[in-house]
Chains A and B, each alone.
Chain A
């Protein structure tokens, strides 16, 4: 291992990227744009008010239905984002109001004899199912709260609802760490894969291998080069996610904020360490898989094979223990799984390096990166011609 040769490879990667502004933009601007968009979407999703009416048979005040209606109304009333229309009593009026766009959701109860057979219908207009569905979770939460006491339902759900005061922030808080880790992985993988493929098809790899440089030196130089850019990327993305800069009103442009201001409890440095180890694995994986591609297009074909399953299985959207039991072992061999878990531990739970969970995540990431480095080194010399 000769540090001068490693440094030469490192400097070359940096120089190449400096000359390629579009790839740099992909590295820095794309994640920011996507995270900003995500933050925007998540924050405005809860911003609209949903107009709700509860309809049921209240003629007999001691009947279950009347009791439940009362519980629901008192539960929903005053909830943020929900505007309760107590004056609406019968279904026909409610439906007409829905059609006239004076109401968004009807909660209706069929007359029942006991609580077990209680059936609740949630009716929306149906013109824009996706948009209307956005209001339904809030109502379901309120329903759960209202009925929880009645049915002896679980207390934690009620507990969750009290936290629900700021639904948008909570969602973003859990998403932000995931996004940081995932982007680092995705972009580093794609950029290394394509860079290395170009070495192969451009004949420069042939020439590299005709110099005294060793395979390990090439992999290390690449790792340093891409690690350098990944470092800047993670710093920029973390700053954007954690920071918040309010921009004052400027003429026709209303006041807006740059950055998401996500609350984090843990150290950004540990979060960075996790992402860096993940990124180093991605460099070697990119080199390794580029062996099996002949064109840039074929590198992109690895996205559905390598990237998308990780997005689905790594806990990005669904917790691992909620996955089908057959898929759980798969999730546990994916590096992104450990990065996301570690990032959540650090950024949401405020864990530091003394946490055994973070230690495990880091350890597994290091091991996976080592395996990829070995694979990459082993395949570099594959016959080029």
Chain B
């Protein structure tokens, strides 16, 4: 029951699938694949093409006129986007800009007021498709009474993933392998964050949504997290990382500036800087936000409504 139902999308586009999960690097039951988590992907052939913008592969994540209203508030206000696989996408925006709602729509946890969300070519919500998706929530979302190992095995089991050796590697990956028996409530905040990440990664999802993964994480650990993210992307995974910290933006392959439930701008950090005519991403954000405000006068009252 583990990885059986391959999403129809990648199967349809022949060149793409190398970048998505069934590739050798992502599923490591074989003994030869022991170190995928720990060694940088220098050798795997699958890792080479993802960022090459060839004949547009099947997008890993798509939104089509996606909209979510909470009463009079448009939390997500008609977002269109198409994210090719194998890259790290940063959702950047202030608190309350709709990042979490957008992620919840994309994972199918919230139902859209209108529009469509697709992951790996499958329209969300789709319970079976969730097997290929990882979601690290903003809250730790782990059981405080349970030990590190019990938390990890529980979530992995829900994905049908019970390979013990591989789960041990997941813990090594976040450097919690010496803490397996510790109840989660006795861990430090940073360790809980890492456990939360291990729980989201244990089943080797092809698409990974990380909602503010580095909040409350000290700088050294933050660097480690981003190294992990880059390794996963190099192995073919698609990561959508939300953040309101601009200094993390440069670590993403591509950025989406989000405000008031709309995408203000999308592009690589360099492109966005260039378009805004500034070296400072924060200033770039404000530039785009200013443009948005002039073109759509509804933005500021909505901001006030929050």
Known contacts A2-B1, A206-B109, A385-B104; is A211 also within 8 Å of B143 by CB? no
Partner of A20, one of B135, B145, B155: B145
28 pairs from A and B in contact (CB 8 Å cutoff)? A4-B1, A4-B157, A4-B160, A4-B162, A5-B157, A8-B154, A15-B145, A15-B146, A15-B150, A19-B183, A202-B141, A202-B144, A206-B137, A207-B155, A207-B199, A207-B200, A208-B158, A210-B107, A210-B135, A211-B131, A211-B159, A212-B127, A212-B128, A212-B131, A212-B158, A213-B158, A383-B110, A384-B109
Contact with A along B13-44 (1 / 0, CB 8 A): 00000000000000000000000000000000
Q: Is A204 interfacial (CB-CB < 8 Å)?
A: yes
Are the C-beta atoms of B141 and A12 separated by less than 8 Å?
Answer: no
Contact with B along A190-213 (1 / 0, CB 8 A): 000000000000111011111111
With a cutoff of 8 Å between Cβ atoms, the chain B residues found around residue A206 in the complex are 109, 137, 139, 141
With a cutoff of 8 Å between Cβ atoms, the chain B residues found around residue A128 in the complex are none
A203-B139, A212-B160 provided; 7 other pairs, C-beta below 8 A? A8-B158, A15-B146, A15-B150, A207-B155, A212-B130, A383-B110, A384-B109
A4 and B160 alpha carbons, distance in the complex (Å) = 7
A-B pairs with the 6 shortest C-beta distances?
A: A203-B139, A8-B157, A203-B141, A207-B141, A19-B145, A210-B135
A12 and B200 alpha carbons, distance in the complex (Å) = 17
For chain A residues 1-36, which have a beta carbon within 8 Å of chain B? 2, 4-5, 7-9, 11-12, 15-16, 19-20
With a cutoff of 8 Å between Cβ atoms, the chain A residues found around residue B199 in the complex are 207
Min distance, Cβ A305 to any Cβ of chain B, angstroms: 28
A20 and B141 alpha carbons, distance in the complex (Å) = 19
Are the C-beta atoms of A11 and B154 separated by less than 8 Å?
Answer: yes
Are the C-beta atoms of B143 and A210 separated by less than 8 Å?
Answer: no
Q: How many residues of A contact B (CB 8 A)?
A: 27
With a cutoff of 8 Å between Cβ atoms, the chain B residues found around residue A2 in the complex are 1, 160
With a cutoff of 8 Å between Cβ atoms, the chain A residues found around residue B238 in the complex are none
Are the C-beta atoms of B100 and A214 separated by less than 8 Å?
Answer: no
With a cutoff of 8 Å between Cβ atoms, the chain A residues found around residue B160 in the complex are 2, 4-5, 212
A385 and B183 alpha carbons, distance in the complex (Å) = 26
Listed residue (A7, A204, A214) with the most chain B CB atoms within 10 angstroms of its CB: A204
With a cutoff of 8 Å between Cβ atoms, the chain A residues found around residue B183 in the complex are 19
A207 and B135 alpha carbons, distance in the complex (Å) = 7
Are the C-beta atoms of B139 and A209 separated by less than 8 Å?
Answer: no
A9 and B135 alpha carbons, distance in the complex (Å) = 19
For chain B residues 34-66, which have a beta carbon within 8 Å of chain A? none
Are the C-beta atoms of B158 and A211 separated by less than 8 Å?
Answer: yes
Are the C-beta atoms of A16 and B145 separated by less than 8 Å?
Answer: yes
Chain A residues with CB under 8 Å of chain B are 2, 4-5, 7-9, 11-12, 15-16, 19-20, 202-204, 206-214, 383-385
Are the C-beta atoms of A203 and B157 separated by less than 8 Å?
Answer: no
With a cutoff of 8 Å between Cβ atoms, the chain A residues found around residue B253 in the complex are none
A12 and B104 alpha carbons, distance in the complex (Å) = 25
With a cutoff of 8 Å between Cβ atoms, the chain B residues found around residue A210 in the complex are 107, 109, 130, 133, 135, 137
Are the C-beta atoms of A204 and B145 separated by less than 8 Å?
Answer: no
A2 and B158 alpha carbons, distance in the complex (Å) = 9
A264 and B60 alpha carbons, distance in the complex (Å) = 65
Contact with A along B121-151 (1 / 0, CB 8 A): 0000001101101010111111111100010
Residue of B nearest to A211 (CB): B158
With a cutoff of 8 Å between Cβ atoms, the chain A residues found around residue B107 in the complex are 210
Known contacts A12-B150, A210-B130; is A202 also within 8 Å of B139 by CB? yes
Residue of B nearest to A381 (CB): B109
Are the C-beta atoms of A19 and B155 separated by less than 8 Å?
Answer: no
Are the C-beta atoms of A16 and B143 separated by less than 8 Å?
Answer: yes
Contact with A along B87-119 (1 / 0, CB 8 A): 000000000000011001001011000000000
With a cutoff of 8 Å between Cβ atoms, the chain A residues found around residue B131 in the complex are 211-212
A210 and B145 alpha carbons, distance in the complex (Å) = 21
A12 and B157 alpha carbons, distance in the complex (Å) = 11
Min distance, Cβ A7 to any Cβ of chain B, angstroms: 8
